[in-house]
Amino acid sequence: MLTDTHAHLDSFEDPEGAVERARSNGVERIISISSGLESSRKTLAFAGGHERIYVAVGVHPHAAATGDAPTLSAIEELAGSPGVVAIGETGLDYFYMNSDKETQIRSFTGQIAIARRRGLPIVIHVRDADEDLIGILKSEDVSEKRGVIHCFTGNYETAKRYLDLGFYISFSGIVTFKKSDELRAAAAGVPADRILIETDSPYLAPVPFRGKPNEPAYVKHVAETVAEVRGLKTEELARLTSENATRLFGLDG
């Protein structure tokens, strides 16, 4: 069994078809991640009609300007809905910088507090912002469930800093790209009980679908690459990353 711990089913034209293809490729569980309040409502509505589709509700750093107090209290209320297993995705993105740093930090720390009050893990997006992000994770009162650094793209030293704070590290299709040697080395080094895999679909398709729309079924290709660098069979890697997802997000086994 494979688990795609990060897909944006609300961004698919045909999420139903994507889920069917995932299932016929052994991807039995999908965590569908939200990017804002409307996205959270849409994602919950879709997941409600499907077995083993779980939800993270939250506001993406790209939409941090919408992460004001009324929006965050609506997110907190949604977080109590059946099927919600995490808060996110949230975090800091200083590459696109769609909102200024202060706005992003406010939205992020607000969601850290929601995760703590709800006893949920956080799904963290970080780009060009590791120093600020690590500083915040050290100074804020973070949920005891911690969470995951999703679509990790750094080296092992950076991964280690998040591991030391109790976080899981999730690898996406980027790990299959030709130039990703440093990332593959990180994927080889993360402890077996802290590694996750994801697609971040419909973005970031892995090789051999690079440049095409991505979907949860392709998490298999991420699993193959990560298994190879860790010297495991794909089935073994699929099993251990699924067990990790079950533990972190409290999924049904």
Interaction site with Zn ion (CB under 5 A): 125, 200
* Nearest one of 242, 9, 5 to 122, comparing CA atoms: 5
Our CB check for Zn ion shows the closer of 158 and 235 to be: 158
Q: Give the nearest distance from C-beta 50 to Zn ion in angstroms.
A: 19
- Comparison of 63 and 227: residue with beta carbon closer to Zn ion: 63
Cβ-contact 148, 168 below 8 angstroms: yes
Taking the C-alpha atoms of residue 97 and residue 62, their distance in angstroms, rounded to an integer, is 7
Q: Which is nearer to Zn ion, 117 or 212 (CB)?
A: 212
Burial class (CB in 10 A: 0-12, 13-18, 19+), 119: exposed
User: Considering beta carbons, is residue 142 or 151 the nearer one to Zn ion?
Assistant: 151
CB of 232 to Zn ion, least distance (A): 26
Q: Are the CB atoms for 236 and 227 separated by under 8 Å? A: yes
Q: How far is the CB of 171 from Zn ion (least distance, A)?
A: 13
Minimum distance of Zn ion from residue 56's CB (angstroms): 9
Which spans in the chain are helix H? 15-24, 37-48, 69-78, 101-118, 130-139, 156-164, 181-189, 219-230, 234-249
Nearer to Zn ion by Cβ, of 29 and 125: the residue is 125
Q: Is-contact 151 179, C-beta < 8 A?
A: no
The nearest distance, CB 12 to Zn ion, in angstroms, is: 13
- Which residue lies nearest Zn ion, judged by its C-beta? 125
